[in-house]
Amino acid sequence: MAFSPSFKSPGLKWVLIGVIFTLLWSSASTATKIGLKVAQPLTIALMRFAIASICMLVYAHGIRRYPFPRGRQWKMITNYGFFNITVYLGLYVLAMKDVTAGIGALAIATSPIFIGLLSIIFLKQVPPIKIMAALLLGLLGVIIAAYPLLIGTGVSIKGLVIILAGMLSYSVASIYFNKMDWQGLKILTINGWQTLIGGALLFPFMLLTYKSSANHFDQHFWISSGWLAIFVSIIAIQCWLWLLKSAPIKAGMWLYLCPIFGFIIAAFFMHDPLSLYTLAGVVLVLIALVMVRGKKAKGEKALQQQRASLIKSQQALIE
């Protein structure tokens, strides 16, 4: 489940793991759409969380013998799980009923833009024009890519609003995670418990909306839930953590490829349409991401140093 960084400089192994991460992470929206053919959104989400959390916690505490959270750590994990699992993934899977798999993958790619903006807001600094421009450009890219689908039946305004609200919650969760002092708690332990607790908080909403006639636990359901749990929630995230540990600065480049892979996967499996609007939207999102991750102005030097220290703290959790 964990990757061992057995070499110091990125090489063929680094490229292979990067490709694996990009493919798996980009496949989440398509896997969700497959499951939605036979089951309700929250049913798929809860099964995904259950499988992923059990696997991670058994490995973390049963095999690796990592210590359990203590005291205030439980509150921190609950808060993180609420924003990162209950709200974000709960809204994401609901939105996928009203957007295509390709748009779902493109929306995920906007998260670094939201995170960049919220980081500045939480640090009480005036948002630079560059960050604001990147945010607007990224949102414009999503709208352009969705435009030909909005006039058809593939995407609705409701779906776009829900998925962007989910991305905002994900960004809040990321900022919260980075601001908290986890006191050496292993990241696999944090992920396992936040997935379990976040799923538990979502369970009452699943019960209130559950319709037995709308859920068919056939091969499509188990392929979708199993893929999302094992290959996305566990393997893809572990690949990402390994990339961060091996070459944290270069790791971000793989996020740029996720929208492209996402549209290709959606077109192949779900027959989502590809057009010049799709290409234009993807290009704008990629430009926005590059703008956010580009060179910072002198006035943002303190912010850059703080983010560097956060990366180091995350690496310490992985070790």
Q: Where are the domains of the chain?
A: 25-318
Query: DSSP per residue over 189-214, as a string?
Result: HHHHHHHHHHHHHHHHHHHHH--GGG
φ and ψ at 211, to 5 degrees?
A: -130, 115
Average pLDDT, the chain: 79
Question: Strand (E) positions, 103-250?
Answer: none
Residue type, 123: L
pTM, whole model, 2 decimals?
0.74
Q: What are phi and psi of 218, to 5 degrees?
A: -100, -165
pLDDT bin (cut points 50, 70, 90) of residue 144 is confident
- Listed in sequence order, the DSSP H helices in 123-247 are 129-150, 157-179, 187-209, 219-226, 237-246
SS3 218: coil
| Average pLDDT over every residue of 98-103 | 78
Q: What does the pLDDT read at residue 149?
A: 66
Phi, psi of 273 (to 5 degrees): -70, 145
Percent of the chain with pLDDT strictly greater than 70? 75
CB count, 10 Å around CB of 166? 23
Q: Is the pLDDT of residue 55 over 90?
A: yes
